[in-house]
Structure 1
């Protein structure tokens, strides 16, 4: 008699709505006989409630226990990560135009002050004056011939550095900001997983 084998791979992240029923097919990829994967995929593994708040961790062991309850003789081979991070997406309030303008102005002023303070620290105006004197042999306290192209080049360099202008991307390579955001998300996911495991251990000890 052939042994029925199910291959299971947990997904990394899943976005759900409040009060949604999370099924095994939502948190894992299943490979095996069609009749088994279709039936097992419909099994409910978790029901989102208000107590879950925004993050839920579905551990592989919880999925295996559910499979064991449903079909004890099924052989399961697991690959990939040992848990799935479920993020509950609640309705977000829309940002009005006035708040958008306020945030935009604050960011514009803050970034402008940061650039000006940096230039003041490195004496950029003095550098431009010396470069202008070396090129022309004349003293000029305001060498606009250098400062204007430098300012335009600074803005263009920032656009090329972040690989975006509004929603347009110049190429498929991720920008340094996207790489940093990815690394931050990875660290955040690891923290959430570790913190969730500690909370589960504490609940088990209390019980």
Structure 2
């Protein structure tokens, strides 16, 4: 009786340089225990320094590798058809000067953005007007409104980004996390099409 093997490629795996990538690294497999163990240990690719940062391995490469040893197996592919192998090189040491420079750049940029926005919408005149409506008195510096507004602005940003330093307020993802996730998904799709040698085949005249 022909044995059936179900294979589901992982979206992405992280490896070190010179790592040997097996089918077990690349995919989830459902089959008999004896066959599953043998197939998971089959080597598909060996990472070398010329691969740079990313290698894309297609499910057809994996199926061909399995069939070369077990030609009678019925392979059913489920889910993604490609896996991204991301190579993690040694990370650079933390630079305090670089961190402070980036922090100052972001802090000054954010502060200027907020101040320019308030100037464009005449926020001071708005506060003065609201103060006059509530109290009936004119005040050039309505601190009774400006101080709570300033604290509320900071609190609103904390709630918006759903983080207080490294602490998450609740389990709901922030808009920034959603945008970063969408960006990563688009980037992964681009890499799969760009780096996968099986996705594009060039046909030259005369070949």
Specify the TM-score bucket, using the shorter chain as the normaliser: over 0.9
Question: Using the alignment, how far apart are the partners of 2:132 and 2:199 within structure 1?
Answer: 70
Counterpart for residue 129 of structure 2: 130
1:70-114 C-alpha deviation (Å, 9 max, x unpaired): 111111111001001111111111122122111111111111111
Shift of 1:196: 2.1
Structure 2 stretches lacking a partner, 5+ long: none
How far apart in 2 are the matches of 1:119 and 1:199? 53
Query: In structure 2, how many angstroms separate the alpha carbons of the residues matched to 1:51 and 1:204?
Result: 26
* TM-aligned CA distance change 1:83 to 1:99, over 3 Å: same
SS at match of 1:181: helix
Contact 2:193–2:199 (CA under 8 A) maintained in structure 1: no
Following superposition, the deviation at residue 192 of structure 1 comes to: 0.8
Are the counterparts in 1 of residues 57 and 196 from structure 2 also a CA contact under 8 Å? no
Shift of the 104–151 alpha-carbon distance from structure 1 to 2, 3 Å rule, reads same
Matched pairs, number: 206
Alignment of 1:51-200 (within 5 A): 51-197=50-196
* Structure 1: runs of 5+ lacking an equivalent: none
- Which structure is richer in relative contact order (CA contacts within 8 A, separation 6 or more)? 2
Given that residues 160 and 175 in structure 2 are in contact (C-alpha distance below 8 angstroms), is that contact kept between their aligned partners in structure 1? yes
Aligned to 2:47: 48
2:7 corresponds to 1:8? yes
How far 1:203 sits from its partner (Å)? 6.7
Q: Which has the higher helix share?
A: 1
Alignment deviations for residues 133-191 of structure 1 (CA, whole Å, 9 cap, x no partner): 11111111111111110000000000011111011111111111111111001111111
Superposed CA RMSD in Å reads 1.7
Give me the whole-angstrom Cα distance separating, in 2, the residues matched to 1:205 and 1:30.
Answer: 38
